[in-house]
Protein backbone atom coordinates (compact mmCIF):
# COMPACT_ATOMS: atom_id res chain seq x y z
CA UNK A 1 0.00 0.00 0.00
CA UNK A 2 1.39 3.37 -1.01
CA UNK A 3 2.43 5.71 1.78
CA UNK A 4 1.31 9.31 1.32
CA UNK A 5 3.31 12.03 3.03
CA UNK A 6 1.03 14.51 4.73
CA UNK A 7 1.89 17.60 6.73
CA UNK A 8 0.14 18.03 10.05
CA UNK A 9 -0.91 21.36 11.57
CA UNK A 10 -0.01 22.58 15.06
CA UNK A 11 -3.61 22.01 16.24
CA UNK A 12 -3.48 18.44 14.98
CA UNK A 13 -0.18 17.84 16.78
CA UNK A 14 -1.65 19.19 20.02
CA UNK A 15 -4.73 17.00 19.65
CA UNK A 16 -2.48 13.97 19.07
CA UNK A 17 -0.54 14.74 22.25
CA UNK A 18 -3.77 15.13 24.22
CA UNK A 19 -5.02 11.73 22.99
CA UNK A 20 -1.70 10.11 23.96
CA UNK A 21 -1.82 11.65 27.45
CA UNK A 22 -5.45 10.59 27.92
CA UNK A 23 -4.39 7.06 27.03
CA UNK A 24 -1.82 7.07 29.82
CA UNK A 25 -4.19 8.73 32.32
CA UNK A 26 -6.92 6.17 31.60
CA UNK A 27 -4.66 3.57 33.25
CA UNK A 28 -4.58 5.56 36.54
CA UNK A 29 -0.80 5.94 37.00
CA UNK A 30 0.17 5.55 40.65
CA UNK A 31 2.51 8.55 40.55
CA UNK A 32 -0.53 10.77 39.89
CA UNK A 33 -2.42 9.26 42.83
CA UNK A 34 -4.76 11.82 44.36
CA UNK A 35 -5.14 14.05 41.33
CA UNK A 36 -5.45 11.62 38.42
CA UNK A 37 -9.20 12.34 38.13
CA UNK A 38 -8.51 16.07 37.91
CA UNK A 39 -6.02 15.47 35.11
CA UNK A 40 -8.50 13.25 33.24
CA UNK A 41 -11.21 15.92 33.45
CA UNK A 42 -8.78 18.63 32.33
CA UNK A 43 -7.42 16.71 29.32
CA UNK A 44 -10.87 15.40 28.38
CA UNK A 45 -12.04 18.99 28.30
CA UNK A 46 -9.10 20.01 26.14
CA UNK A 47 -9.76 17.08 23.82
CA UNK A 48 -13.43 18.00 23.36
CA UNK A 49 -12.48 21.67 22.89
CA UNK A 50 -10.08 20.87 20.03
CA UNK A 51 -12.47 18.30 18.58
CA UNK A 52 -15.23 20.91 18.57
CA UNK A 53 -12.92 23.36 16.82
CA UNK A 54 -12.11 20.76 14.15
CA UNK A 55 -15.80 19.94 13.76
CA UNK A 56 -16.80 23.54 13.08
CA UNK A 57 -13.87 23.89 10.67
CA UNK A 58 -15.07 20.82 8.77
CA UNK A 59 -12.00 18.77 9.74
CA UNK A 60 -13.88 16.28 11.92
CA UNK A 61 -16.62 14.18 10.39
CA UNK A 62 -17.82 10.59 10.33
CA UNK A 63 -16.65 8.60 7.32
CA UNK A 64 -19.09 6.10 5.86
CA UNK A 65 -16.79 3.12 6.44
CA UNK A 66 -16.77 3.85 10.19
CA UNK A 67 -20.53 4.31 10.55
CA UNK A 68 -21.22 0.80 11.88
CA UNK A 69 -18.36 0.98 14.40
CA UNK A 70 -19.55 4.42 15.52
CA UNK A 71 -23.13 3.23 16.05
CA UNK A 72 -22.08 0.11 17.98
CA UNK A 73 -19.67 2.21 20.09
CA UNK A 74 -22.49 4.59 21.04
CA UNK A 75 -24.78 1.66 21.85
CA UNK A 76 -22.06 0.17 24.07
CA UNK A 77 -21.54 3.55 25.74
CA UNK A 78 -25.26 3.80 26.50
CA UNK A 79 -25.43 0.16 27.59
CA UNK A 80 -22.64 0.75 30.11
CA UNK A 81 -23.56 4.30 31.15
CA UNK A 82 -27.35 4.18 31.60
CA UNK A 83 -28.15 2.86 35.11
CA UNK A 84 -30.95 0.42 34.26
CA UNK A 85 -29.60 -2.60 36.18
CA UNK A 86 -30.00 -3.18 39.90
CA UNK A 87 -26.42 -2.40 40.89
CA UNK A 88 -25.62 0.23 38.29
CA UNK A 89 -23.98 3.37 39.61
CA UNK A 90 -22.70 6.29 37.58
CA UNK A 91 -18.94 6.12 37.13
CA UNK A 92 -16.81 8.78 35.40
CA UNK A 93 -14.94 5.96 33.63
CA UNK A 94 -17.95 5.33 31.35
CA UNK A 95 -16.91 8.46 29.46
CA UNK A 96 -14.06 6.47 27.87
CA UNK A 97 -16.35 4.74 25.40
CA UNK A 98 -17.89 8.06 24.41
CA UNK A 99 -14.46 9.61 23.85
CA UNK A 100 -13.43 6.59 21.80
CA UNK A 101 -16.52 6.97 19.57
CA UNK A 102 -15.47 10.55 18.84
CA UNK A 103 -12.04 9.33 17.72
CA UNK A 104 -13.80 7.93 14.67
CA UNK A 105 -14.48 11.53 13.60
CA UNK A 106 -10.77 12.38 13.65
CA UNK A 107 -8.42 12.20 10.68
CA UNK A 108 -6.51 8.92 10.56
CA UNK A 109 -3.14 10.67 10.53
CA UNK A 110 -3.90 12.22 13.95
CA UNK A 111 -4.64 8.79 15.43
CA UNK A 112 -1.41 7.37 14.00
CA UNK A 113 0.61 10.25 15.41
CA UNK A 114 -1.19 10.01 18.78
CA UNK A 115 -0.18 6.36 19.15
CA UNK A 116 3.36 7.27 18.11
CA UNK A 117 3.46 9.78 21.01
CA UNK A 118 1.94 7.16 23.31
CA UNK A 119 4.63 4.64 22.33
CA UNK A 120 7.33 7.23 23.05
CA UNK A 121 5.87 7.90 26.51
CA UNK A 122 5.86 4.15 27.18
CA UNK A 123 9.47 3.95 26.00
CA UNK A 124 10.50 6.73 28.42
CA UNK A 125 8.64 4.96 31.25
CA UNK A 126 10.62 1.80 30.40
CA UNK A 127 13.95 3.63 30.54
CA UNK A 128 13.13 5.28 33.88
CA UNK A 129 11.85 1.99 35.35
CA UNK A 130 15.02 0.16 34.32
CA UNK A 131 17.25 2.91 35.77
CA UNK A 132 15.41 2.87 39.10
CA UNK A 133 15.53 -0.94 39.14
CA UNK A 134 19.30 -1.03 38.65
CA UNK A 135 19.94 1.70 41.23
CA UNK A 136 17.87 -0.22 43.75
CA UNK A 137 19.69 -3.44 42.87
CA UNK A 138 23.10 -1.96 43.70
CA UNK A 139 21.83 -0.43 46.92
CA UNK A 140 21.51 3.24 45.97
CA UNK A 141 19.05 4.99 48.27
CA UNK A 142 16.54 6.98 46.21
CA UNK A 143 14.01 9.60 47.39
CA UNK A 144 10.65 7.90 47.77
CA UNK A 145 7.27 7.91 49.44
CA UNK A 146 4.94 5.12 50.50
CA UNK A 147 1.45 5.01 48.98
CA UNK A 148 -1.01 2.59 50.67
CA UNK A 149 -2.89 0.23 48.37
CA UNK A 150 -6.66 -0.08 48.78
CA UNK A 151 -6.65 -3.89 48.53
CA UNK A 152 -3.63 -4.38 50.79
CA UNK A 153 0.08 -3.83 50.49
CA UNK A 154 1.64 -0.59 49.33
CA UNK A 155 3.53 1.16 46.56
CA UNK A 156 6.97 2.66 46.93
CA UNK A 157 6.95 5.67 44.64
CA UNK A 158 10.30 6.91 43.38
CA UNK A 159 8.39 9.71 41.60
CA UNK A 160 9.62 8.51 38.20
CA UNK A 161 8.70 4.87 38.77
CA UNK A 162 6.95 2.78 41.41
CA UNK A 163 7.46 -0.60 43.06
CA UNK A 164 4.63 -2.83 44.28
CA UNK A 165 5.19 -4.53 47.63
CA UNK A 166 5.62 -8.30 47.64
CA UNK A 167 7.16 -8.43 44.16
CA UNK A 168 10.84 -8.64 45.15
CA UNK A 169 13.26 -11.39 44.14
CA UNK A 170 17.02 -12.03 44.22
CA UNK A 171 19.19 -12.75 41.20
CA UNK A 172 23.00 -13.00 41.00
CA UNK A 173 23.21 -11.69 44.56
CA UNK A 174 21.25 -8.52 43.74
CA UNK A 175 17.74 -7.53 44.83
CA UNK A 176 15.28 -6.88 42.01
CA UNK A 177 11.52 -6.56 41.69
CA UNK A 178 8.90 -7.06 38.99
CA UNK A 179 8.64 -3.94 36.87
CA UNK A 180 5.33 -2.10 36.80
CA UNK A 181 6.56 1.30 35.60
CA UNK A 182 4.26 4.00 36.96
CA UNK A 183 1.22 1.71 37.03
CA UNK A 184 -0.52 -0.35 39.71
CA UNK A 185 0.64 -3.84 38.73
CA UNK A 186 3.23 -5.52 36.50
CA UNK A 187 0.35 -7.06 34.56
CA UNK A 188 -1.06 -3.62 33.77
CA UNK A 189 2.33 -2.45 32.53
CA UNK A 190 2.73 -5.60 30.44
CA UNK A 191 -0.56 -4.94 28.63
CA UNK A 192 0.63 -1.48 27.57
CA UNK A 193 4.08 -2.67 26.51
CA UNK A 194 2.51 -5.42 24.41
CA UNK A 195 0.35 -2.86 22.63
CA UNK A 196 3.38 -1.09 21.18
CA UNK A 197 4.89 -4.38 19.98
CA UNK A 198 1.57 -5.43 18.42
CA UNK A 199 0.98 -2.19 16.51
CA UNK A 200 4.43 -1.69 15.01
CA UNK A 201 5.64 -4.47 12.74
CA UNK A 202 9.43 -4.73 12.76
CA UNK A 203 9.88 -2.70 15.95
CA UNK A 204 11.89 -5.51 17.56
CA UNK A 205 14.72 -4.66 15.15
CA UNK A 206 15.03 -1.18 16.69
CA UNK A 207 16.61 -0.17 20.02
CA UNK A 208 13.22 1.09 21.17
CA UNK A 209 11.62 -2.27 20.45
CA UNK A 210 14.36 -4.27 22.15
CA UNK A 211 14.09 -2.21 25.34
CA UNK A 212 10.30 -2.49 25.39
CA UNK A 213 10.55 -6.26 24.86
CA UNK A 214 13.18 -6.55 27.61
CA UNK A 215 10.93 -4.58 29.96
CA UNK A 216 8.04 -6.90 29.03
CA UNK A 217 10.09 -9.89 30.18
CA UNK A 218 10.97 -8.19 33.47
CA UNK A 219 7.30 -7.68 34.35
CA UNK A 220 7.08 -11.47 34.83
CA UNK A 221 3.44 -11.09 33.82
CA UNK A 222 1.86 -14.34 32.67
CA UNK A 223 -0.73 -12.43 30.62
CA UNK A 224 2.02 -10.42 28.93
CA UNK A 225 3.89 -13.62 28.06
CA UNK A 226 0.75 -15.08 26.51
CA UNK A 227 0.37 -11.93 24.38
CA UNK A 228 4.01 -12.18 23.27
CA UNK A 229 3.38 -15.81 22.36
CA UNK A 230 0.50 -14.66 20.16
CA UNK A 231 2.80 -12.17 18.45
CA UNK A 232 5.29 -14.97 17.77
CA UNK A 233 2.51 -17.15 16.37
CA UNK A 234 1.70 -14.40 13.91
CA UNK A 235 5.31 -14.30 12.72
CA UNK A 236 5.71 -18.08 12.57
CA UNK A 237 2.34 -19.21 11.17
CA UNK A 238 1.16 -16.24 9.10
CA UNK A 239 4.53 -14.86 7.97
CA UNK A 240 6.31 -18.22 7.72
CA UNK A 241 9.32 -17.19 9.81
CA UNK A 242 10.02 -20.75 10.91
CA UNK A 243 13.51 -19.91 12.23
CA UNK A 244 11.85 -18.17 15.18
CA UNK A 245 10.90 -21.59 16.57
CA UNK A 246 14.57 -22.39 17.15
CA UNK A 247 15.14 -18.94 18.65
CA UNK A 248 12.25 -19.46 21.09
CA UNK A 249 13.55 -22.81 22.30
CA UNK A 250 17.04 -21.35 22.69
CA UNK A 251 15.72 -18.46 24.81
CA UNK A 252 13.59 -20.78 26.94
CA UNK A 253 16.57 -23.10 27.52
CA UNK A 254 18.77 -20.13 28.49
CA UNK A 255 16.15 -18.82 30.92
CA UNK A 256 15.76 -22.23 32.55
CA UNK A 257 19.53 -22.46 33.00
CA UNK A 258 20.21 -18.91 34.22
CA UNK A 259 17.10 -17.83 36.13
CA UNK A 260 16.69 -19.40 39.61
CA UNK A 261 13.98 -22.05 39.84
CA UNK A 262 12.10 -20.26 42.65
CA UNK A 263 11.65 -17.15 40.48
CA UNK A 264 10.20 -19.13 37.57
CA UNK A 265 7.88 -21.07 39.87
CA UNK A 266 6.74 -18.03 41.85
CA UNK A 267 6.02 -15.61 39.01
CA UNK A 268 5.25 -17.89 36.08
CA UNK A 269 4.70 -21.61 36.59
CA UNK A 270 2.33 -21.19 39.54
CA UNK A 271 0.11 -18.98 37.40
CA UNK A 272 0.39 -21.16 34.33
CA UNK A 273 -0.54 -24.28 36.28
CA UNK A 274 -3.37 -22.64 38.22
CA UNK A 275 -6.92 -22.65 36.91
CA UNK A 276 -9.23 -19.64 37.23
CA UNK A 277 -10.74 -21.27 40.32
CA UNK A 278 -7.31 -21.57 41.92
CA UNK A 279 -6.74 -17.84 41.61
CA UNK A 280 -10.03 -16.51 42.99
CA UNK A 281 -11.92 -16.91 46.26
CA UNK A 282 -14.43 -19.59 47.13
CA UNK A 283 -16.80 -16.76 48.03
CA UNK A 284 -16.68 -15.43 44.47
CA UNK A 285 -17.15 -18.89 42.93
CA UNK A 286 -20.23 -19.42 45.11
CA UNK A 287 -21.50 -15.95 44.20
CA UNK A 288 -20.95 -16.62 40.49
CA UNK A 289 -22.81 -19.93 40.61
CA UNK A 290 -25.70 -18.30 42.46
CA UNK A 291 -25.80 -15.55 39.85
CA UNK A 292 -26.63 -18.09 37.13
CA UNK A 293 -29.55 -19.32 39.20
CA UNK A 294 -31.00 -15.99 40.35
CA UNK A 295 -29.21 -13.18 38.49
CA UNK A 296 -30.02 -11.46 35.22
CA UNK A 297 -27.93 -13.52 32.81
CA UNK A 298 -29.03 -11.51 29.78
CA UNK A 299 -28.21 -7.96 30.91
CA UNK A 300 -26.13 -8.50 34.03
CA UNK A 301 -26.67 -7.07 37.51
CA UNK A 302 -24.75 -3.80 37.13
CA UNK A 303 -21.36 -2.18 37.05
CA UNK A 304 -20.78 -2.07 40.83
CA UNK A 305 -22.24 -5.42 41.90
CA UNK A 306 -18.84 -6.91 42.79
CA UNK A 307 -17.68 -3.86 44.77
CA UNK A 308 -20.97 -3.65 46.70
CA UNK A 309 -20.63 -7.32 47.64
CA UNK A 310 -16.92 -6.94 48.52
CA UNK A 311 -15.78 -9.17 45.67
CA UNK A 312 -12.74 -8.89 43.44
CA UNK A 313 -12.42 -10.62 40.08
CA UNK A 314 -10.49 -9.80 36.93
CA UNK A 315 -11.50 -12.48 34.46
CA UNK A 316 -14.47 -12.81 32.12
CA UNK A 317 -16.81 -13.96 34.90
CA UNK A 318 -16.76 -10.52 36.48
CA UNK A 319 -17.76 -9.01 33.13
CA UNK A 320 -20.64 -11.49 32.71
CA UNK A 321 -21.96 -10.67 36.19
CA UNK A 322 -21.80 -6.95 35.45
CA UNK A 323 -23.12 -6.80 31.88
CA UNK A 324 -24.52 -10.23 31.04
CA UNK A 325 -24.41 -12.08 27.73
CA UNK A 326 -25.89 -9.09 25.92
CA UNK A 327 -22.79 -7.07 26.86
CA UNK A 328 -20.54 -9.86 25.58
CA UNK A 329 -22.40 -9.96 22.25
CA UNK A 330 -22.22 -6.17 21.82
CA UNK A 331 -18.44 -6.27 22.30
CA UNK A 332 -18.14 -9.11 19.79
CA UNK A 333 -20.16 -7.15 17.21
CA UNK A 334 -17.95 -4.14 17.87
CA UNK A 335 -14.77 -6.19 17.42
CA UNK A 336 -16.01 -7.82 14.20
CA UNK A 337 -16.99 -4.42 12.77
CA UNK A 338 -13.60 -2.95 13.62
CA UNK A 339 -11.60 -5.71 11.89
CA UNK A 340 -13.95 -6.54 9.04
CA UNK A 341 -12.04 -6.83 5.74
CA UNK A 342 -8.68 -6.15 7.40
CA UNK A 343 -5.59 -8.24 6.67
CA UNK A 344 -5.50 -11.66 8.30
CA UNK A 345 -2.45 -10.68 10.39
CA UNK A 346 -4.22 -7.64 11.83
CA UNK A 347 -7.39 -9.63 12.44
CA UNK A 348 -5.41 -12.31 14.27
CA UNK A 349 -3.53 -9.81 16.47
CA UNK A 350 -6.62 -7.75 17.33
CA UNK A 351 -8.85 -10.73 18.11
CA UNK A 352 -6.08 -12.58 19.99
CA UNK A 353 -5.34 -9.53 22.15
CA UNK A 354 -9.04 -8.99 22.85
CA UNK A 355 -9.61 -12.63 23.87
CA UNK A 356 -6.58 -12.72 26.20
CA UNK A 357 -7.64 -9.49 27.91
CA UNK A 358 -11.29 -10.55 28.14
CA UNK A 359 -10.38 -13.90 29.72
CA UNK A 360 -7.58 -12.54 31.93
CA UNK A 361 -8.43 -8.90 32.81
CA UNK A 362 -11.93 -8.13 31.56
CA UNK A 363 -12.13 -4.85 33.49
CA UNK A 364 -9.61 -3.44 30.99
CA UNK A 365 -11.78 -3.70 27.87
CA UNK A 366 -13.70 -0.45 28.39
CA UNK A 367 -10.54 1.58 29.10
CA UNK A 368 -9.76 4.34 26.62
CA UNK A 369 -6.27 3.04 25.89
CA UNK A 370 -7.57 -0.45 25.06
CA UNK A 371 -10.13 0.90 22.60
CA UNK A 372 -7.64 3.39 21.14
CA UNK A 373 -5.05 0.64 20.71
CA UNK A 374 -7.43 -1.69 18.85
CA UNK A 375 -8.45 1.17 16.53
CA UNK A 376 -4.81 2.04 15.80
CA UNK A 377 -3.97 -1.63 15.21
CA UNK A 378 -6.74 -1.79 12.59
CA UNK A 379 -4.83 0.85 10.57
CA UNK A 380 -2.05 -1.69 9.96
CA UNK A 381 0.89 0.63 10.66
CA UNK A 382 4.36 -0.48 9.60
CA UNK A 383 6.92 0.87 12.05
CA UNK A 384 9.85 0.69 9.62
CA UNK A 385 8.23 2.73 6.85
CA UNK A 386 5.39 4.83 8.29
CA UNK A 387 6.40 7.96 10.16
CA UNK A 388 3.95 9.88 12.36
CA UNK A 389 3.52 12.55 9.69
CA UNK A 390 2.60 9.96 7.05
CA UNK A 391 -0.49 7.94 6.46
CA UNK A 392 -1.51 5.09 4.23
Could you read off the pLDDT of 138-166 as tens digits, one per residue? 988 889 999 998 778 899 999 899 999 88
252 vs 296: which has the higher pLDDT: 296
Residue 370 lies in a domain: yes
Please state the φ and ψ torsions of residue 154, each to the nearest 5 degrees: -160, 165
Domain that holds residue 170: 7-391
What pLDDT score does 271 carry?
Answer: 56
Task: Enumerate residues 6+ apart whose C-beta is below 8 A from 309.
Answer: 287
Q: What would the pLDDT profile of 215-251 be if each residue is shown by its tens digit? A: 999 998 888 999 999 999 888 888 777 777 777 777 6
Residue 124 lies in a domain: yes
Residue 144 lies in a domain: yes
To which H or E segment does residue 359 belong? Answer: helix 344-360
Residue 190 banded pLDDT, cuts 50, 70, 90: very high
Residue 2 lies in a domain: no
Nearest Cα to Cα of residue 302 among 285, 333, 276, 327 = 327
Number of domains in the chain: 1
Alpha-helical runs (H) found in 173-300? 186-199, 207-218, 222-233, 243-258, 261-264, 270-273, 282-294
Nearest Cα to Cα of residue 281 among 308, 304, 305, 315 = 315
Residue 1 lies in a domain: no
Using CA atoms, how far apart are residues 266 and 62, in angstroms rounded to an integer? 49
Using CA atoms, how far apart are residues 312 and 309, in angstroms rounded to an integer? 9
Residue 320 lies in a domain: yes
Amino acid sequence: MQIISQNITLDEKILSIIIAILSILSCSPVIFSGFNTTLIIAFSGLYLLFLGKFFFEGKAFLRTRYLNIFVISLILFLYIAIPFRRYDRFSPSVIWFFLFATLLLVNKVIIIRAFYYFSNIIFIICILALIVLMLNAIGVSLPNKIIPREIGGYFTSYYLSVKLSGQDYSFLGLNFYRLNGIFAEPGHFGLLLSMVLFVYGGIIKTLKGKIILFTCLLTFSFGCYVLLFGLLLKYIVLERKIYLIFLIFSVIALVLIVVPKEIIERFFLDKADGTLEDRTSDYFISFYNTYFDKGDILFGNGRDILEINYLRNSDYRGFVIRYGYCGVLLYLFWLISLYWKKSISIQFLGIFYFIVVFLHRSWFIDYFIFLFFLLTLSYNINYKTTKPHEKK
